[in-house]
Structure 1
Amino acid sequence: MPVGAWDSHMHVTSPDYPLAKSAAYKPSLHSLDHAMAFEKTIGIDNIVLVQPSIYGNDNSCLLDALKEIGPTRGRGVVSFDPDDIASDTLQQWHRLGVRGVRLNFKSTNEPFDPDAVKQTLRKYAAVVKPLDWVIELFIDLEQLRFITDIIPELGVKFCVAHFGAPDMKRWTSYPSDASNVPGMQHLTTLLSQADNLWVKISAHYRYDLSIDKMAGSEAIAKLLLDTAKDKMVFASDWPHTRFEGLDVKPFVSKCLDWSEEFDAKDLVFRDNAKRLWDCA
Structure 2
Amino acid sequence: MSGSTNTPAELAGICDTHVHVLDPQRFPYADDRTYTPAAATITDLAAFTRRMGIERVVLVQPSIYGTDNAALLDGLAKLGPDVARGVAVIDCARSTDSELVRLHDAGVRGLRVNVAVHGDTGSALAAAVDRAAPFGFAVEIYAGTRFLLDNRGLIEGSSVPIILDHYAGVDPVAGPDAPGVSELTELLATGHVWLKMSAPYRLPHNPAPAAVEDLSRRLVEAAVDRLLWASDWPHTGRLPKDVPRTAASIDPFFDVDDAAVLAGIRRAAGSDENARRILVDNPAALFGF
TM-score, scaled to structure 2: 0.86
1:103 maps to which residue? 113
Q: Distance in 1 between matches of 2:14 and 2:150?
A: 34
1:65 maps to which residue? 75
Q: Distance in 2 between matches of 1:229 and 1:167?
A: 19
2:17 maps to which residue? 8
Q: Distance in 1 between matches of 2:39 and 2:63?
A: 16
8 Å CA contact 1:141, 1:184 repeated in 2: no
Q: Distance in 2 between matches of 1:101 and 1:209?
A: 29
1:251 maps to which residue? 261
Does the alignment pair 1:219 with 2:223?
no
Higher deviation after alignment, 15-24 or 268-277:
15-24
Q: 1:264 aligns with which of 228, 252, 274?
A: 274
The letter for the 1-side match of 2:202 is R
The letter for the 2-side match of 1:215 is A
Q: Distance in 1 between matches of 2:192 and 2:206?
A: 31
Gaps of 5+ in 2: 1-7, 239-252
In structure 2, relative to structure 1, the CA distance for the partners of 1:262 and 1:107 (3 Å cut) is farther
1:51 maps to which residue? 61
Q: 1:191 aligns with which of 188, 195, 203?
A: 188
2:153 maps to which residue? 149
**Alpha-carbon offset, residue 20 of structure 1:** 2.4
**Alpha-carbon offset, residue 262 of structure 1:** 7.9
8 Å CA contact 2:227, 2:278 repeated in 1: yes
The letter for the 2-side match of 1:6 is C
The letter for the 1-side match of 2:169 is A
Equivalence map 1:126-141=2 (5 Å): 126-141=130-145
1:230 maps to which residue? 225
Percent sequence identity is 30
2:236 maps to which residue? 241
Q: Aligned residues, how many?
A: 264
8 Å CA contact 1:140, 1:166 repeated in 2: yes
In structure 2, relative to structure 1, the CA distance for the partners of 1:224 and 1:90 (3 Å cut) is same
Equivalent position SS for 1:106: helix
2:50 maps to which residue? 40
The letter for the 1-side match of 2:19 is M
The letter for the 2-side match of 1:197 is V
Gaps of 5+ in 1: none
Q: 2:197 aligns with which of 190, 201, 204?
A: 201
- More contact order relative to length (CA 8 Å, sep ≥ 6): 2
**Alpha-carbon offset, residue 198 of structure 1:** 0.2
The letter for the 2-side match of 1:126 is D
The letter for the 2-side match of 1:188 is T
Give CA deviations for 1:155-214 in whole Å, capped at 9, x if unaligned.
10000000012245xx5xx4x42xx2122222112112x111000011012226465x41
Equivalent position SS for 2:285: helix
Q: Distance in 1 between matches of 2:107 and 2:210?
A: 36
**Alpha-carbon offset, residue 154 of structure 1:** 2.3
TM-score, scaled to structure 1: 0.89
CA RMSD, Structure 1 to Structure 2 (Å): 1.7
8 Å CA contact 1:208, 1:214 repeated in 2: no
8 Å CA contact 2:169, 2:204 repeated in 1: no
The letter for the 2-side match of 1:8 is T
Equivalent position SS for 1:92: helix
8 Å CA contact 1:101, 1:135 repeated in 2: yes
8 Å CA contact 2:231, 2:258 repeated in 1: yes
Equivalent position SS for 1:85: coil
Equivalent position SS for 1:123: helix
The letter for the 1-side match of 2:181 is M
8 Å CA contact 2:188, 2:194 repeated in 1: yes
**Alpha-carbon offset, residue 217 of structure 1:** 0.8
Equivalent position SS for 2:40: coil
Q: Distance in 2 between matches of 1:24 and 1:248?
A: 25
Equivalent position SS for 2:194: strand
